[in-house]
Amino acid sequence: MANDEVILLDFWASMFGMRLRIALAEKEIKYEYKEEEGLITNKSSLLLEMNPIHKKVPVLIHNGKPICESIIGVEYIEEVWKDKAPLLPSDPYERAQARFWADYIDKKLYVSSRKIWGTKGEEQEAGKKDFIEVLKVLEGELGEKPYFGGDNFGFVDIALIGFYSWFYAYETYGNFSTEAECPKFVAWAKRCMQRDSVAKSLPDQHKVFEFIQMLRQKFGIE
Amino acid sequence: MAENDVKLLGSWPSTFVMRPRIALNVKSVCYDFLEEQLSSKSDLLLKSNPVYKKIPVLIHDGKSICESLNIVQYIDEKWTNSGPSILPLDPYDRAIARFWACYIDDKWFPIFRCLAVAQGEDAIKAALEPVFNGLVLLEDAFKNCSKGKKFFGGDKIGYVDIALGCFLGWMRVTEKMNNVTLLDEAKTPGLYKWAEDFCADSSVKDVMPETNKLAEAAKDLIPKIRANASS
């Protein structure tokens, strides 16, 4: 693996990009981080070349070959660098469970979270209600375990934790307290934040809030 | 060996249910097919898929696995030594296969569903273009994945074949009912031939519903899909 060239094309606030940053850090893989600075207004030619179908970050580029979609990227990292820090369990049923919950997070959490900061009035209220419901379902799945995978930090934790960096923004715009609604979720998130791989991959919550403020102004929501 | 401790909850017209059925056939796994009535969900379905309450659900040794592509990956990993591999072996090829399956479910299927339930010439025409553009992309994907062979998976059907092929029955019904052409021999020659080969495959033949039977069922199902979409 000494001659591997790994590039991560990403955007600092992307909770999807954070998944790959964490997975790469867990496996201690050296990589070049490339910030897609013009993500909102002016996508780079590299991004358009590497992800022509969706034109989105993150894109993992391994020896010149692009892997798009963050969950697919995490599975790829797991399969290529399989001798280090396993992120998925080895049992097929446990793996199916992990994939199910990562997919659930993608289907349900992002959509509702977007409504909290991206809309107003009734639509925002509905988004907030759905969001809290989704967190409660996830809390139920977590149960008394330290991590979603059990004793070990893994796939579902990686799929979810990046959203935590957006929580100050969600709570401010949605006017709710996650600690009050979902204390187990907050405990889990703080546990994850103690890991180096996570702490180094997530941006400061206030910085994210400022970014969303800017987006809301840009999209005429403020 | 395989006693019927494998059960699949599903319904014969469902595209997503077809995916695990094909995968189980590829691995020569015997299973009980439990037909769900769409008008009222069984207690078993509600208990084994409490999150989405949807088919398909695979129940193996009393444990349930949900979401069709997830089930296909489970089947591939559980019965790894029985029959050919459904996902490719190389990690990069696997990532590409997963990418296209994701594209089919997240982008192509919703626009196809719009076309399948579209009413009136204008609505059908408007719905057709993005579906067809998607198929042109998939034609390119087919060229890259198949590398000159019969299927996306190469010599044998694989993950992307199953992900896309399950829609062929409904594509034929849509072509008939809306008087459109989806797989055009001239415009998407690769997919056109692939569709024939896929439907003729031994793992697919018995689970692909016959077009006329599906068209009959569509008469009842399409109004229900329209009603769900607008609610």
CA distances from A203 to A17, A18, A71 (A): 11, 9, 20
Residues of B in contact with A95 (CB under 8 A): 73-74, 77
pLDDT tens digits, residue range A118-143?
A: 999 999 999 999 999 999 999 999 99
- CA dihedral angle for residue A69, residue A75, residue A79, residue A83, rounded to 10 degrees: 120
Q: Is the pLDDT of residue B155 over 60?
A: yes
pLDDT classification of A1: cutoffs 50, 70, 90: low
Residues of B in contact with A68 (CB under 8 A): 99
Asked if A96 is an interface residue toward chain B (Cβ–Cβ < 8 A), one would say yes
Asked if B16 is an interface residue toward chain A (Cβ–Cβ < 8 A), one would say no
Q: Of the candidates B92, B94, B99, which has its C-beta nearest A68's C-beta?
A: B99
- Of all residues in chain A, the one with the smallest CA distance to B141 is A53
Query: Do residues A101 and A148 touch, judged by C-beta distance below 8 A?
Result: yes
pLDDT classification of B33: cutoffs 50, 70, 90: very high
Q: Is the dihedral of CA A161, A162, A168, A171 positive or negative?
A: negative
Which residues 89-118 on chain B approach chain A with CB closer than 8 angstroms? Answer: 91-92, 94-95, 98-99, 102-103
Give the angle subtended at the CA of B205 by the CAs of B200 and B207, to the nearest 5°.
150
Closest by CA to B70, choosing from B84, B86, B81, is B86
What's the confidence (pLDDT) of residue A38?
80
Query: What is the predicted ipTM?
Result: 0.96
pLDDT tens digits, residue range A35-54?
A: 998 877 789 999 999 999 99
Residues of A in contact with B102 (CB under 8 A): 69, 72
pLDDT classification of B226: cutoffs 50, 70, 90: confident
Indicate yes or no: CB of A79 within 8 angstroms of CB of B71: no
Q: Is the pLDDT of residue A14 over 80?
A: yes
Indicate yes or no: CB of A104 within 8 angstroms of CB of B51: yes
Distance CA B153, CA B111 (A): 25
What's the confidence (pLDDT) of residue A163?
98
pLDDT classification of A222: cutoffs 50, 70, 90: confident
B85: CB partners within 8 A, 6+ apart: B76, B158
Q: Is the pLDDT of residue B181 over 90?
A: yes
CATH 1.20.1050.10 maps onto chain A at 92-218
pLDDT classification of B231: cutoffs 50, 70, 90: low
**Average pLDDT score over residue span A108-122:** 94
What's the confidence (pLDDT) of residue B230?
60
**CATH 3.40.30.10 describes domain A6-80:** yes
Asked if A95 is an interface residue toward chain B (Cβ–Cβ < 8 A), one would say yes
Closest by CA to B23, choosing from B179, B192, B163, is B163
pLDDT classification of B224: cutoffs 50, 70, 90: confident
What's the confidence (pLDDT) of residue B3?
52
Indicate yes or no: CB of A92 within 8 angstroms of CB of B77: yes
Name the percent of chain B lying above pLDDT 70: 97
Q: Of the candidates A53, A65, A100, which has its C-beta nearest B92's C-beta?
A: A65
Indicate yes or no: CB of B94 within 8 angstroms of CB of A75: yes
Q: Of the candidates A69, A76, A137, which has its C-beta nearest B91's C-beta?
A: A76
pLDDT tens digits, residue range A182-221?
A: 999 999 999 999 999 999 999 999 999 999 999 999 888 8
pLDDT tens digits, residue range B92-139?
A: 999 999 999 999 999 999 999 999 999 999 999 999 999 999 999 999
Q: What are phi and psi for residue B92, nearest 5 degrees?
A: -70, -45
Distance CA A110, CA A148 (A): 19
Indicate yes or no: CB of A99 within 8 angstroms of CB of B73: yes
**Average pLDDT score over residue span B209-214:** 95
**Average pLDDT score over residue span B29-36:** 96
Q: Is the pLDDT of residue B42 over 80?
A: yes
Distance CA A123, CA A116 (A): 8
- Which of 2.40.30.10, 3.90.1150.10, 3.40.50.720, 1.20.1050.10 would CATH assign to domain A92-218? 1.20.1050.10
What is the average pLDDT value for chain B, to the nearest integer? 95
Residues present in chain B in total: 231
What's the confidence (pLDDT) of residue A41?
79
pLDDT tens digits, residue range A57-95?
A: 999 999 999 999 999 999 999 999 999 999 999 999 999
CATH 3.40.30.10 maps onto chain A at 6-80
Q: How many distinct helices (H) and strands (E) make up chain B?
A: 10, 4
- Of all residues in chain A, the one with the smallest CA distance to B75 is A92
- Of all residues in chain A, the one with the smallest CA distance to B106 is A107
B230: CB partners within 8 A, 6+ apart: none
pLDDT classification of A2: cutoffs 50, 70, 90: low
